């Protein structure tokens, strides 16, 4: 499972002219689901999202997590993150989970997020969304969890 996260001072998602989710300071996470992802992959991703230290301390170092700052978390499904872009001039989507499976895992991720964090907003799976954000820093990270990316030591 992939999360492209951005530290934001504000972010929102709109569908058909209606705002369906918005946060002030916090993280915007664009979420891609891959075929091998499971509910435990979603659990690991939420743990990392909430604990990932991307917010500055008094010295300006990234030492605080979303859990510590209690900022907002905006989760937006984005299947294009799982695209295969290694060759050619058009992305391939065989590396993305099938829509039904991806929607179920995204929904599970949202439930887990709401259980773990007080301020969670979401986009809508399968919708044509407009996402607006003010990226602070700019700070953007690619988080990926799953059997192909986790290394045992």
Is-contact 144 41, C-beta < 8 A? no
- What's residue 148's pLDDT? 55
- Catalytic residue, candidates 80, 85, 93, 149: 80
Residue 13 lies in a domain: yes
Residue 151 lies in a domain: no
Q: Is the pLDDT of residue 104 over 50?
A: yes
- Residues 6 or more apart from 114 whose CB is under 8 A from it? 120
Residue 56 lies in a domain: yes
Residue 74 lies in a domain: yes
pTM assigned to the model:
0.92
Residue 65 lies in a domain: yes
Is-contact 38 101, C-beta < 8 A? no
- Catalytic residue, candidates 6, 34, 41, 78: 78
d(CA 57, CA 35): 38
Residues written for the chain? 153
What's the structural domain count of the chain? 1
Residue 80 falls in the annotated catalytic set: yes
Contacts 24+ apart (CB under 8 A), 63-67: 66/26, 66/27, 66/117, 67/117
And the tokens for 66? 């979303």
Question: Each residue of 43-53: pLDDT tens digit?
Answer: 999 999 999 99
Residue 150 lies in a domain: no
Residue 140 falls in the annotated catalytic set: no
- Catalytic residue, candidates 41, 55, 79, 125: 79
Residue 79 lies in a domain: yes
> Residues of the chain with pLDDT > 90: what percent?
87
Residue 18 falls in the annotated catalytic set: no
Mean pLDDT, all residues of the chain: 93
CATH number, domain with residue 98: 3.50.80.10
Q: Which domain covers residue 110, as residue numbers?
A: 2-144
Tell me which residue of 138, 135, 142, 111 sits closest to 43, measured CA to CA: 111
Residue 107 lies in a domain: yes
Q: What angle do CA 48, 29, 45 make, to 5 degrees?
A: 25
- What's residue 18's pLDDT? 97
């Amino acid at each position: 499972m992939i999360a492209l996260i951005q530290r934001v001072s504000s972010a929102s998602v709109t569908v058909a002219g209606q705002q369906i989710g918005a946060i002030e300071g916090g993280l915007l996470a664009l979420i891609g689901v891959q075929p091998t992802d499971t509910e435990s992959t979603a659990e690991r991703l939420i743990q990392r999202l909430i604990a990932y230290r991307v917010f500055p301390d008094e010295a300006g170092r990234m030492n605080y997590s979303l859990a510590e700052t209690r900022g907002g978390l905006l989760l937006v499904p984005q299947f294009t993150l799982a695209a295969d872009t290694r060759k050619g001039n058009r992305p391939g989507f065989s590396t993305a989970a099938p829509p039904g499976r991806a929607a179920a895992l995204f929904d599970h991720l949202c439930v887990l997020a709401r259980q773990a964090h007080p301020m969670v907003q979401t986009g809508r799976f399968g919708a044509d969304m407009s996402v607006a954000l003010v990226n602070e820093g700019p700070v953007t990270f690619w988080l990926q969890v799953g059997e192909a990316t986790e290394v045992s030591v």
